[in-house]
Amino acid sequence: MEMTGGEAVACALETLGVRHVFGIVSVHNLPIYDAIARRGTITPISVRHEQAAAHAADGYARATGELGVVIASTGPGTTNTMTGLFEASFASSPVLLVTGQIDSRYLGKAKGFLHEAEHQRTMLSSLCRRVDTVRRTEDIGRAIVAVADSIRAGRPQPGAVEIPIDQQYRRAEVVVPGPQADSSYVPDTDAVAKVAAALCAATRPVLWAGGGVVSSGAGPALVALAERLSAPVVTTVEGRGSIAEDHPLCLGALTTSPPVEDVVSSADVVLAVGTRFQGSSTRNWSLSFGGTLAHLDVDPAVIGRSYPTALPVVGDARIGLELLLSTVDRVSTDPAHAEKARSAALTARADARTQLGEDHCQIMDAIRRHAPRESVIVRDATVPAYLWGDRLLPILQPRTSMRPASAAIGPGLPLALGAAVGSGRPAVLIAGDGGFMLHVGELATAVQHDVPVVICLFNDRGYGVLRGIQARQFEGRTTGVDLTTPDFPALATSMGVQASRVSDPAEFESRFRDAIASGQPALLDIDLLALSPLRFPRPAGRS
């Protein structure tokens, strides 16, 4: 069919099932935006910074399991997306960047053309699984679908397609192929049988669920296998939601808590699924797996990387767990094992709550009480997130838990925006004032597109995590961590966001309940210094 290059982009995205795109218009992508507007099947979300566009597309992908799409300009627009692409790569998220490029006749000649980025493809390749530069309008549809297929196969990763502006305006006969069927990465049946035999003979089995369980849709199979084995389940932070945290077999993301660590280290068989054993979940790989370790993952490169693996299985988490369900035909689990694990989880949670103090416990409980079960809970890199948001605030459904996996500061608001847009459900953001300022402009995006995000802004007038680390490590000296902050309620109100200031748990609960019920963007400026003090996390890599 004859069409412009901009129409070819829109048609390819429609073929891929894309419902929303995130980005900023530019002279180097106007034909794409015009085609999307004329066709009317995809909703563009206009953000205020391209980094936010990439984070929002990432949040969209994590909350929905669909492709997250960014449309940006060449040069400065694309360089702005790099932090978001870095986070998507770290989080194994399928984010597709469609960016313009300068006119074909000047491409690669370093003549100083407007927005010229001579080495843009090389830059993108440092973070993306696949980057294609389209030289002819005829190839646009094939390139976009091929890159999308590549980045959704196996362990998801970001990818990019850059399209010269003259090829976006040009008309040509364009073929837009359908996406390839997922090869599904079926595990080797002999490898699965060996794991099944080990699980059948185990008296103290433990299941370890990582983010791959969530991204592959393997949660139901994980829960079914756990119930058949009466095996407790621990999760990484990215694996939260793979099993509801009010399920009696769920120990949660408390792997570094001594009572839960004891359950893991004393297991005779641990089946780890969809994980690369990040440092935060293993206390930088000092956690011990005392028994036989079986590891199921779609990425063969992560198996055996951090821990010796006796029973490796390469394949899709959902298919692998379903094959195990069909193979595990007897159970040897000691009935006391699950009860010991349940007691360990209760002890770990109780110990953690005592560190929080009454005020934070009440706020955390109020969030869970009033946020719908299906709400997406997003935590930015901030003290309350580290101490209770990432591990203690119960997560009850898959794809409702999100944080910057790379521990970046600031992505929280755009992640929450993308999650709410994609899921059609409200999102709750736990953020600190320092990180929030990196994307404060996206409050306007939330209002413009009527996105139901409730921002719980814990305000201690600075970078609280770093302030605590500096004070401990440098004899009380701090540098660069105390910030001048705006009047957040006034700022938010000026952009059309309902906002208020709170300083105690009772006031928070009342305001939070109203904000959730409104279905509109809202901000609660919480005076962190008025609450009972929290204990700060230890610096990474230090005792």
Residue 138 φ/ψ, nearest 5 degrees: -60, -25
CA distance 402 to 5: 35
SS (H, E, C) 137-188: HHHHHHHHHHHHHHHHCCCCCCEEEEEEHHHHHCEEECCCCCCCCCCCCCCC
At 250 the three-state DSSP class reads strand
Tens digit of pLDDT for each residue in 382-437?
Answer: 999 999 999 999 999 999 999 999 999 999 999 999 999 999 999 999 999 999 99
DSSP 8-state symbol, 57:
H
Contact 157, 87 (CB under 8 A): no
- Please say whether the beta carbons of 259 and 344 come within 8 A: yes
| Residue 9, token pair as written in the block | 């982009």
Q: Flag the least confident range among 16-25, 161-170, 459-468, 531-540.
A: 531-540
Q: How does pLDDT run across 326-356, given as a tens digit for each residue?
A: 999 899 999 999 999 999 999 999 999 998 9
With the C-alpha atoms ordered 434, 438, 444, 445, is the resulting torsion angle positive or negative?
A: negative
* pLDDT recorded at residue 543: 34
Question: Which tokens hold the place of 124?
Answer: 């993108």
Cα distance between the two ends of the chain:
64
pTM: predicted TM-score of the whole model, two decimal places: 0.95
Which residue ranges form the domains of the chain, and what is each CATH number?
Answer: 2-173 (3.40.50.970), 189-347 (3.40.50.1220), 357-530 (3.40.50.970)
Q: What would the pLDDT profile of 225-277 be if each residue is shown by its tens digit?
A: 999 999 999 999 999 999 999 999 999 999 999 999 999 999 999 999 999 99
Identity of residue 58: D
Q: Can you name the residues that pair with 524 across neighbouring β-strands?
A: 456, 500
Q: Across-strand partners of 22?
A: 45, 70
* pLDDT at position 183: 66
Q: Which helix (H) or strand (E) holds 232?
A: none
HEC-encoded secondary structure of 474-503: CCCCCCCCECCCCCHHHHHHHCCCEEEEEC
Which residues are within 8 A (CB) of 353 and not within 5 positions of it... i.e. 6 or more apart? 361, 392
Q: What average pLDDT score do residues 184-199 get?
A: 95
Three-class SS state of 268: coil
The dihedral through the CA atoms of 197, 198, 202, 205 has a sign that is negative
* Residues facing 159 on adjacent strands: 96, 130
Predicted local distance difference test score (pLDDT) of residue 522: 98
Q: What is the DSSP letter of 310?
A: S
Q: What is the pLDDT of residues 25-57, one digit of tens each?
A: 999 999 999 999 999 999 999 999 999 999 999
How far is it, in rounded angstroms, from Cα 453 to Cα 451? 6
What tens digit of pLDDT does each residue of 471-511 get?
889 988 999 999 999 999 999 999 999 999 999 999 999 99
Measuring CA to CA, which residue among 432, 434, 440 is closest to residue 414?
440
Residue 381 tokens, joined:
């890199």
When pLDDT is cut at 50, 70 and 90, the band that residue 299 belongs to is very high
d(CA 541, CA 329): 43
Partners of residue 134 on adjacent β-strands: none
How many angstroms separate the CA atoms of 73 and 25, rounded?
7
Q: Give tens-digit pLDDT for 102-111.
A: 888 888 878 7
pLDDT band for 113, please (50, 70, 90 cuts): confident
pLDDT of residue 539: 44
